Amino acid sequence: MAPVAKRPPGTQDILPADRPYWEALEAAARDQALRFGYQRIETPIYETTDLFVRGVGEGTDIVSKEMYSFSDRGGRSLTLRPEGTAPIVRAYFDAGMQVEPQPVRLFYIGPFFRAERPQAGRFHQFYQFGIETIGDASPLLDVEAIVLGWNWFAGLDIAGVTLHLNSIGDEVCRPAYRQLLREYFRPYLAELSETSRARFEKNPLRLFDSKDPQDERLKHNAPRIVDHLCGPCAEAFHVVKEGLAAQEIAFELNPNLVRGLDYYTRTVFEYQHESLGGAQNSLGGGGRYDGLAAALGYRPTPGVGFAMGMERTAIVLKQSKPLTPLIPEVYAIALEASDELYVFRLASTLRARGYGVIFDPGLARLDAKLRKAAKRGARVALLVGPEEREKKQIVIRDMHSKTQTSVAERELLSTVVQMLGAR
Ligand code: AMP
């Protein structure tokens, strides 16, 4: 009979062999976040659909075609979270964080869901590490977010990351720029790709998201928003660039970087990596979202943050340095069924002292069990047969040198300490 179920498309199992990379990513995320004073927050995996419709924006790809929405038993529409910022802004107000000292610095690590066409580096369920700084509009907080992200990659020894930077203005300067873009593209409408033609009316900034070669030349010559920023937006962008230069972080000004979510204002940035290639070359990105709180119906409150893709960063980390899972050093073998409980107890004694011990139950030939111990990467094997048990002795085998000695039970710990060091 065939198995009833397969892994759903666009999902993946994070197997033990992958785990060391994920743990390294998470440890580095916690480490960097805490150094900058960010505290961890977990919001639910699902929210009311309206949160994303109003926060992320109706015209965005995420809301228009990538959400996993469903009705609960009361007929309320819920959605598996496609992104973390709108939920965290909601949580900020729900928990009354607006009355705490500002800004509030939060970070998260968890799964997100988007019904995009699966391909290498793109999944239906994926994990992000993200930060949000809410309640202060200082452009130096944009710099802080960018530096924190940059340090995350550096702390993981990931080389080859390029920082792309742009400003997309705010509600003061963006409407006029949008108009300017429409005027620029209008004569070429027939030459644009179908997707871009659709974006032309709804949100012409998104024309820059097009990966279509046919749109490239037009994009290249289009007016750049950084040349049309209002005074305050231009000043903020200047501070961001100065701040990054002072931190000696190189960036590429990328007028094509607009990002797909409606809530961004002013600074937007993305970390790209050459080895990922193609459309999926972004490891993470973020920006300022001073209009989001108001779009969600709260008091206008500025914010800035980023989200990093854990799967893509794990792929890059794997390419740069091999990591192996932590494995127990000691392998405990009973030669006969009557010795098993005795060996089980020895294993417990060593674990209580901080050693990792694998207990091997069941009867098998000694050489087969030793082969298993070697395969598991054990450094020391404990062997007990009826003779040893009677004399309260244990054979301790050094798996590397393949030599073994017999010790009394009370010498077990000191011998293991001698061989492996204290724990
Ligand atoms: P975004 O929230 O779209 O800015 O995404 C931030 C980062 O999350 C991206 O740079 C990717 O690394 C990662 N990401 C976004 N969507 C997916 C997906 N469908 N599968 C895997 N990673 C994703």
What are the average pLDDT values for consecutive 10-residue runs of the chain, which has 423 residues? 89 95 98 98 98 92 94 97 98 98 98 93 96 98 98 96 96 93 92 86 86 85 95 98 98 91 91 81 96 96 98 95 90 94 96 96 90 96 93 95 96 96 92
Query: What atom of ligand 1 comes closest to residue 124's alpha carbon?
Result: 19
- Number of residues written out for the chain: 423
CA of residue 346 to ligand 1 center, whole Å: 48
> Is 243 a pocket residue for ligand 1 (Cβ < 6 Å)?
no
Mutation probe of ligand 1 site: the residue of 11, 126, 146 with most atoms within 8 A of C-beta: 126
Number of Cβ atoms within 10 Å of the Cβ of 233: 23
Q: Note the pLDDT of residue 59.
A: 83
Q: Note the pLDDT of residue 197.
A: 86
What is the DSSP secondary structure assignment for residue 207, as one 8-state letter?
A: G
User: Could you tell me if residue 288 is left (phi over 0), alpha (psi between -120 and 50 degrees) or otherwise beta?
Assistant: beta
> Is 128 a pocket residue for ligand 1 (Cβ < 6 Å)?
yes
Residues 6+ apart with CB under 8 A from 331: 357, 358, 360, 372, 373, 376, 378, 380, 381, 382, 399
Compute the half-sphere exposure of residue 204: CA atoms within 13 Å on the CB side of its CA: 23
CA of residue 10 to ligand 1 center, whole Å: 13
Q: Note the pLDDT of residue 195.
A: 83
Query: What atom of ligand 1 comes closest to residue 312's alpha carbon?
Result: 12
Task: Please name the amino acid found at residue 163.
Answer: L
Q: Note the pLDDT of residue 1.
A: 78
Query: What atom of ligand 1 comes closest to residue 310's alpha carbon?
Result: 12
Q: Note the pLDDT of residue 112.
A: 98
Q: Note the pLDDT of residue 40.
A: 98
What is the DSSP secondary structure assignment for residue 79, as one 8-state letter?
A: E
Q: Note the pLDDT of residue 152.
A: 98
Mutation probe of ligand 1 site: the residue of 264, 312, 315, 317 with most atoms within 8 A of C-beta: 312
